Structure formats: C-alpha cells, structure tokens
Chain A
Amino acid sequence: MPLVIQIQTGNSPLTAQTATVKLAGSLDTATAPQLETQLATLLAGPVKELVFDLAQLTFISSAGLRVIAGARKRLRERDGLASFIHLQPQIQEVFDIIASLPGIAIFKDANELDQYLAARQRAHQQGT
C-alpha cells in the first residue's frame, strides 16, 4: 500500500517554524524512506514544530516510528516539538506499545493541540 505525504508550511518567518505533515496509507519498511527524505528536506529549514496529522494513516510499523523518532530527535535539538493528531485506533495502539518514547505529544484533534501550544508558549514567555 502506498504512502501519500502532504506537507504544509507557512510563508511568514513566524509561521515557517511550524509545519503540518499529513500522512495517508501505510508507513512501513518500504515507504518509510520516502518520509525520511521529505522530513530531512523540511528539517533543513527553520521548522521547530511539526504536527503529524494521521487521520488517513492506516498502518504504521517500527520502521515508520524510527523515522518519526529521528525527526523528534532533530526537533528536540532545536528546542522544538513533534505532535500527533487524529490517530486511528490501530495507530494509537502501536503508539501505546512504544509509549516510553519521551518527548512525543499526542492530541485528539487540532483544538487540543492549539491549547497545548498556547500554554507552552505562555510558559516559555514567562520563563524568559
């Protein structure tokens, strides 16, 4: 089964730090390198916050998780964040199995993510 990747980034200097990666299909041993390549290009830029929208993702294996973990590692190095929305039950279950991956935030939907990011921004501003 193929993997379809759609990446959206903002145009202004501020919004360019956030990107949404929509995945559809299967993120597996055969398709994970496609995502790895696209994320490498994306993370060569100023992106600090990466939102994975997994509404249309039907299959994910450890090969796909490895790519996501690699992106998370690069984001963490620049004080960034990887977050996930719209996980289907079978995808959520795999995330639960590897729940010990620290630094990954999972949200029910975009509203919940927005609330989290706003709180995170407030905390950051208060800390500076």
Chain B
Amino acid sequence: MRMELQATPQEVMRAVEALQEFGRAEKVPDRILHGLALALEECGCNIVTHALGNDSRKKFRVAVERQTSRILIELRDRGPEFDLTGFRRPATPAADDDLCGGWGIQIVRRYTDTIRYRREGDENVLLLIKHLE
C-alpha cells in the first residue's frame, strides 16, 4: 500500500483508515492493528504539524508492507531533519498543550517493535516495524 498525502489532519486519518483496511485484508490481529493505526496517526500528526507546518500544499508519503510475520510502515517527508528515535521524554511532564509531540512519541514506542530513522537527500525517512508473532 502506497499513498501520497497532503499535510492535513484529514489526510493523516485517510492513511490510518487505509492501513486498517490493509491490515484486515492481511488478517492482522485487531489489537496489533489498533496499535499500528495509533502509531501511524501519531507519526503523521507529527509530520503535518512539525515537519510541514500544517501547509496543505506540502505532501508526505506513507507505504505499508507485510513481510511474512511483520508489518513495515514507512513515512517520508521533506521537512527539516528530525530524528524521532533520538527524542527523549522530558524530565518533567509535558505541558498540557504539547502532548501531541511528547506523548505521541511514547505511544509510537509502545505499539511498535522497531523505529528507524534516516535522512535520505532532503527527506526524513521513518520506518516502523511490528512483528506479528
């Protein structure tokens, strides 16, 4: 599954719904699929808000693939370089108005097994991996 999306919250959820449809067709267990949907929503929200500044003219891409017993989700955007994997939870609780960033990353970590980041040319490439067994 591959999608090119505009930088809007609605497009993030379009990707989430496509992932859920893909997962159901692949018979991914509901509990795992819900976690992956949540992880994709959080990463997409992060890209739209922080990398692309809620500019609907900008685009990002999502690819989802099943490899035997694991699901891979790749997100690509042309925002400023940002390595999500290096983000550390603040020592103090996040401010009430900054949960999308700080708490979102905690949620992504909880529902995926591996998170890999690389900068490829002018693109941020984020890979999420979840094992099905």
CA A89 to CA B31, docked complex, whole Å:
10
Task: Give how many A-B residue pairs fall within 8 Å (CB-CB).
Answer: 72
> Which chain B residues lie closer than 8 Å to A62 at the CB level?
42, 45, 99-100, 103-104, 107
Q: Which residue of A lies closest to B12 (CB)?
A: A29
* Distance of B112 from chain A, by nearest CB (Å): 13
Contact residues in A for B56 (Cβ distance below 8 Å): none
Q: Which residues of B contact A66 (CB under 8 A)?
A: 96-100, 103
A72 in complex: contacting residue of B37, B96, B104, CB < 8 Å: B96
**Any B CB within 8 A of the CB of A61:** yes
Please provide the chain B residues from 1 to 20 with a CB less than 8 Å away from any CB of chain A in the complex. 9-10, 12-13, 16-17
Nearest-Cβ distance from residue B6 to partner chain A, whole angstroms: 12
Query: In residues 74-123 of chain A, which contact B (Cβ within 8 Å)?
Result: 90, 94, 97-98, 100-102
Across the interface, which residues of B come within 8 angstroms of A33, CB to CB? 9
Question: How many angstroms from the CA of A59 to the CA of B19 in the assembled complex?
Answer: 14
* Residue total for B at the interface (Cβ-Cβ under 8 A): 26
A73 is an interface residue with CB less than 8 A from chain B: yes
A80 to B10, CA, bound (A): 33
Are A59 and B45 interface neighbours, CB within 8 A? Answer: no
**Contact status A70-B100, CB under 8 Å:** no
B28 contacts partner chain A, Cβ-Cβ < 8 Å:
no
A98 and B103 within 8 A (CB): yes
Q: Is the CB of B41 within 8 A of A29?
A: yes
| Closest-CB distance, B110 to chain A (whole angstroms) | 5
Q: Which residues of A contact B (CB under 8 A)?
A: 1, 26, 28-30, 33, 59, 61-63, 65-66, 69-70, 72-73, 90, 94, 97-98, 100-102
